[in-house]
Amino acid sequence: MNILVINAGSSSIKYQLIDMKTELPLSSGIVERIGLEKGLIKHKTFINGSEEKTVEEFPIPDHGVGLKRVAELLMDKKVGVINDPSEIKAVGHRLVHGAETFTETVEITNEVKAKVKELFPLAPLHNPANLIGVEVAEKVFPNAKQVGVFDTAFHQSIPEKAFRYALPEKFYSELRIRKYGFHGTSHKFISEKAIEYLGNPDAKIVTIHLGNGASMAAVKGGVCVDTTMGMGPLSGLIMGTRSGDIDPAIIFYLAQQKGYSVQEISDLLNKESGMKGLTGLTDMRDVEKRQSEGDSVAILALEMYAYRVKQYIGSYAAAMNGVDAIVFTAGIGENDTSVRQMVCEDMDYLGITWNEEKDKNRKDGVHEINVDGAKVKVLIIPTNEELEIAKQSLSLIE
């Protein structure tokens, strides 16, 4: 059975067609610059272990034109992998914010779409684009079931003592202001892989998703009990352009004393802070290059970055009354040896260690980088959000 996974953004569509018999991609790609003068499609086909790339540049005025061309490429005589759209049994959509309305994967109906629209204020940059992807896919693949997988769903098991903020009751009961958390699909995927590797269904795991956006989760026995992001994706760790945790008094100071508008503060904290604010750079590789050259600004930024991760490891070890494994994933988590080393240093009190030789000699799949005999396993597990969305979609339609 083939399942197409779609992650629609405001000006892009990421996609992957997965053969669920093998759980391997048949094709993947991205449609970029939708609505601009020149659109771009980067398409990959995987056949018999080889990879064929197709790049096309042409006007893509809307998501419909882009996805229609993707369907044509999937059926193309040269680079196609299917003969007819009916071979795609389901389209799994990444939907960012499900609030308390959606706690699990759902088949997308008109009622579901209406409720997703109601949640637009909670994720104004993501949910509207996600819904456009759904509506376009309904037209391009009319015979496929449309399935919604929500970033927030995995975190809906967080207990009230952890998801509530210390605000007057009405702000929760009337406005549903609370912690929701994000990157749930990734945290679910890697925590399940870690539990399988450990052979312990009751394992206490700290999952560490480090990319341009970054978050952590405390997962006890396969159930999420806390996470670093909150009502929106701004809180928690230091990120590429987002500040992570700050004192709310800073907002009042900027507004009242310096005349910043609400939008200016939002742009500052979401787009101009984090590593960009500290160093002027958003790519961790560039920051580390400067660090290696002795740049004091880069050195401090990386120390702050690692310190925040260490803080949350300690917090979650306390929340779960122990930790059996910590897991690094996503772009930085999977590929940055220096960050992993900085996070694991001076954590021996908790039983967390780091072995340089193991870290340098990576292998595919789950990779262990702690010293032999360590109390806590330190793992690198590549995330695969597309496969997790496809698996959840398959489970639903079956």
Dump pLDDT digits (tens) for 220-278.
999 999 999 999 889 999 999 999 999 999 999 999 999 999 999 999 998 899 999 99
State the pLDDT at residue 183: 92
The CATH number of domain 200-385 is 2.40.50.100: no
pLDDT at residue number 124: 78
Is the pLDDT at 34 greater than 90? The verdict is no
pLDDT at position 67: 87
C-alpha closest to that of 235 among 152, 175, 227? 227
Nearest to 307 by CA among 332, 341, 343: 343
Q: Identify which of 10-14, 32-36, 51-55, 373-377 has the greatest average pLDDT.
A: 373-377
DSSP 246-292: --THHHHHHHHTT---HHHHHHHHHHS-HHHHHHS---HHHHHHHHH
Catalytic residue among 19, 76, 151, 202: 151
DSSP three-state, residue 301: helix
Quickly count: other Cβ atoms within 10 Å of residue 300's Cβ. Answer: 13
Q: Is the pLDDT of residue 91 over 90?
A: yes
Q: Is the pLDDT of residue 13 over 90?
A: no
**Cα–Cα dist 70/65, whole Å:** 9
| Residues in contact with 364: Cβ distance below 8 Å, sequence separation at least 6, in sequence order | none
State the amino acid at position 128 in one-letter form: P
* 9 confidence band (pLDDT: 50, 70, 90): confident
94 is in an annotated binding site: yes
Map tokens 């399935």 to a residue.
147
Q: What is the pLDDT of residue 265?
A: 95
pLDDT greater than 80 at residue 48: no
For domain 2-150, give the CATH number. Answer: 3.30.420.40
Distance CA 233, CA 163 (A): 14
**Same fold for the pair 2-150 and 200-385:** yes
Catalytic residue flag (residue 151)? yes
CA–CA distance, 345 with 339 (Å, rounded to integer) = 10
Stretch 21-26: mean pLDDT: 91
Put residue 376 in one of left, alpha, beta given phi > 0 → left and psi -120 to 50 → alpha.
Answer: beta
pTM of the model: 0.89
pLDDT in tens, 107-130: 999 999 999 999 888 877 778 888
If we measure between CA atoms, which residue out of 42, 49, 57, 53 comes closest to residue 24?
49
Between CA 347 and CA 333 the distance in angstroms is 17
**Would the annotation count 212 as a binding residue?**
yes
Q: In one letter, which amino acid is 49?
A: G
Please report the pLDDT score of residue 7 as a whole number: 86
The winner for highest mean pLDDT among 43-52, 115-124, 146-155 is 146-155
pLDDT band at 25 (very low <50, low <70, confident <90, very high): very high
What are the residue boundaries of the structural domains of the chain, listed by start?
A: 2-150, 200-385
Q: Does residue 133 register a pLDDT over 80?
A: yes
Q: What are phi and psi of 160, to 5 degrees?
A: -60, -35
Q: Which of 32-36, 214-218, 382-386 has the highest average model confidence (pLDDT)?
A: 214-218
Determine the pLDDT at residue 86: 85
Which residues does residue 178 pair with via DSSP β-bridges, in sequence order? none
Higher pLDDT, 207 or 87: 207
pLDDT band of 189, cuts 50, 70, 90: very high
- pLDDT bucket at 397, cuts 50 / 70 / 90: confident
- % of the chain at pLDDT higher than 90: 69
% the chain with pLDDT above 70: 100
Residue 333 is assigned to a ligand binding site: yes
- Give the confidence band of 96 by pLDDT, cuts at 50, 70, 90: confident
d(CA 99, CA 42): 33
Q: Which two tokens stand for residue 364?
A: 């595919």
Measure CA 222 to chain center.
Answer: 18
pLDDT tens, residue by residue, 358-390? 999 888 889 999 999 999 999 999 998 889 999
335 known ligand binder:
yes
pLDDT of residue 38: 86
Is the model's pLDDT at 330 over the cut of 80? yes
Q: Within the chain, what is the greatest distance between any pair of CA atoms?
A: 64
Confidence class of residue 49 from pLDDT cuts 50, 70 and 90?
confident
173/369 Cα distance (integer angstroms):
45
pLDDT digits (tens, 9 = 90+) for 268-300: 998 899 999 999 998 888 999 999 999 999 999
CB 135 within 8 A of CB 204: no
